[in-house]
Structure 1
Amino acid sequence: MKVLIVEDDAAIAANLYDYLESDGYDVDIASNGNTALRMALDEVWDAILLDLSLPGIDGLTLCRKLRTEAHRDTPVLMLTARDTLEDKLQGFTEGTDDYLVKPFSLKEVGARLSALVKRYRGQVATMELSFADLRLDLSTMTVQRAGRPVRLPPKCLHLLRVIMQAPNRVFSRSELEMEVWGEALPDSDTLRAHIYMLRKALSEPGKVDLIETVHGLGYRLSASDSHAT
């Protein structure tokens, strides 16, 4: 998962970066509001950790711009030393999804971040992921395409679960490798081989190839019939 840390305190930012990276997140840092807004709009993020007091654009203004001007619904976890009810209500009014007061536990940051992303991806209330005529039952980890059962090896199943959580989102090669293989990163051809096996297993005569190769960027789940191969 890709997480943007927006924090002007270098020590706090470094601690968050190290903790989240060790937990398998793809992390980047912005130390001021102007840079953060540009990064938030230029890339797709699974979540943003946002400090309230920032140089340039403050956290509340940044969050409001994301929601009302850019119409981005990226989950935002606000990090701040302000702990009054009024401060929290103002944060929620501007569009933050959760609020954590400094000093905080890194484990709590990780837990809240994971919960935010799961809710955003629709994994809390549902036990099924679906896209077009593709279904993945999360309780049994079984797959169907157009009603036909699809048998997948474990790594391909994990790979499918990751890309089905965010249809149309481009996942980079490194992100997919980290999600599926963790720190034990495979050699350069392993991901490509698993994508090939997944495509072959999901193929249906006359049906669109649901896995699109976005050259130079990665892969995504898409129902377009103009895929690059």
Structure 2
Amino acid sequence: MDVSPANPQNQPSPRNASLLLVEDHKNLAQAVGAYLESSGFTMDYAYDGLCALHLAATQRYDAIILDITLPGGIDGLEICRRLRKDARLSTPILMLTARDQLQDKLEGFQRGADDYLVKPFEMPELEARINALIRRERGELDESVYQIHDLTFNTNTMQVMRQGRIIQLSPTCLRILRILMRESPNLVTREQLEHELWGELIPDSDTLRSHLYKLRKKIDKPFAVPLLETQSGIGYRLIEPN
């Protein structure tokens, strides 16, 4: 999990946004809280279900980050249900959990969750999803979706899909994909990619090639039509098929 300080080049967090983090693992809660506070969020914490219900009912938050597995007999799914059905709370809720099966995700959405992030996760993705939820609730969200053929990348939610299938990518592969989709159909040189990814601290020559191999394996290999084109010795581009 990436717990490094927030990147000042990332999209800024919504102004005066307050979050309730419901997480029983205090070390994780502290790490998440420190990261989000460095991005400008105000944080409150709950380490069990009863405390979470009390805070959510008595305080106003812009979003709630809610772990599913909690002590005290009230799990995150039940908290979500009570907040939606009993308290009629419309605050955006992001489920944070180690459960990664489709049925678990569907159950979370059925209980009223707005988004779902599986542990382990990267901090920038958590921040991006929280930003998107808050802006959508405030009516400030201007969806930024890149699309090439049947490949889409929503840069607010950091979700990549092709043919309706969600594609999980590492943070570096997400950044590469965003650059290539932004510049498409133009060619992006190797030097340009390396500079945007790492600035002056460029790693060894095989690092970029390795990330591009992983990216191609996820967005092209499972599908009949390839989109990522390599021009040997020059660079890369994403193009619509003929």
- What is the Cα deviation at residue 124 of structure 1? 2.1
Name the counterpart of 2:117. 100
Instruction: Please state if 1:111 is matched with 2:128.
Output: yes
Name the counterpart of 2:26. 10
Name the counterpart of 1:87. 104
Q: Identity, % of aligned pairs?
A: 52
- What is the Cα deviation at residue 11 of structure 1? 1.1
CA deviation string 1:145-177 (max 9, x = no partner): xxxxxxxxxxxxxxxxxxxxxxxxxxxxxxxxx
- What is the Cα deviation at residue 28 of structure 1? 1.0
Instruction: Please state if 1:76 is matched with 2:79.
Output: no
- What is the Cα deviation at residue 95 of structure 1? 0.2
Q: Which residue, out of 21, 29, 35, partners 2:45?
A: 29
The residue identity in structure 1 corresponding to 2:91 is T
**How many Å separate the matches in 2 of 1:21 and 1:99?**
21
Instruction: Please state if 1:46 is matched with 2:87.
Output: no
**How many Å separate the matches in 1 of 2:124 and 2:31?**
12
**How many Å separate the matches in 1 of 2:39 and 2:141?**
21
- What is the Cα deviation at residue 125 of structure 1? 5.2
**How many Å separate the matches in 1 of 2:64 and 2:123?**
15
The residue identity in structure 2 corresponding to 1:103 is P
2:99 match: secondary structure: coil
Structure 1: which 4+ aligned runs deviate by more than 4 Å? Answer: none
Q: How many residues align?
A: 126
- Using structure 1 for the length normalisation, give the TM-score: 0.54
**How many Å separate the matches in 2 of 1:87 and 1:69?**
22
Question: Quick one: structure 1 residues 19 and 125, their matched pair in 2 at CA, closer, same or farther if it must change by over 3 Å?
Answer: closer
Name the counterpart of 1:120. 137
Within 5 Å, give how 1:56-205 maps onto structure 2. Answer: 56=72, 57-124=74-141
CA deviation string 1:171-221 (max 9, x = no partner): xxxxxxxxxxxxxxxxxxxxxxxxxxxxxxxxxxxxxxxxxxxxxxxxxxx
- Using structure 2 for the length normalisation, give the TM-score: 0.51
**How many Å separate the matches in 1 of 2:90 and 2:49?**
18
The residue identity in structure 1 corresponding to 2:63 is A
The residue identity in structure 1 corresponding to 2:87 is A
**How many Å separate the matches in 2 of 1:122 and 1:95?**
19
Alignment RMSD: 1.1
2:30 match: secondary structure: helix
**How many Å separate the matches in 2 of 1:19 and 1:41?**
25
**How many Å separate the matches in 2 of 1:109 and 1:13?**
13
CA deviation string 1:38-65 (max 9, x = no partner): 0000000000000000012100000000
